[in-house]
Amino acid sequence: MSVLDTSAVLALVYGEEGSEVAKSHLDVGSISRVNVAEVLTDLTRAGYGGPVEGMKVLNKLSLRFRSVYDNHAERVSELKQIKGLSLGDCFCIALGESIDEPLVTGDTAWAKLPLKVPVILIR
Q: What does the alpha-carbon distance between residue 117 and residue 103 come to, in Å, rounded to a whole number?
A: 7
Residue 26, domain CATH: 3.40.50.1010
pLDDT at 69: 86
Q: How confident is the model at residue 105 (pLDDT cuts 50, 70, 90)?
A: very high
Q: What is the mean pLDDT of residues 67-89?
A: 93
CA 59 to chain centre: 15
**Percentage with pLDDT > 90 across the chain:** 93
Burial class (CB in 10 A: 0-12, 13-18, 19+), 60: exposed
Give me the pLDDT at residue 24, please.
95
| pLDDT classification of 71: cutoffs 50, 70, 90 | confident
- Compute CA distances 101 → 1, 27, 50, 52, 123, whole Å: 6, 14, 31, 29, 19
With both helix axes pointing from N to C terminus, report the angle between 33-45 and 87-98 in degrees, rounded to the nearest 10: 140
Domain range enclosing 78 = 2-121
Domain count, the chain: 1
Contact 12/61 with Cβ under 8 angstroms? yes
pTM beyond 0.85: the answer is yes
pLDDT tens-digit profile of 25-66? 998 899 999 999 999 999 999 998 999 999 999 999 999 999
Q: Report d(CA 116, CA 60) in Å as an integer.
A: 30
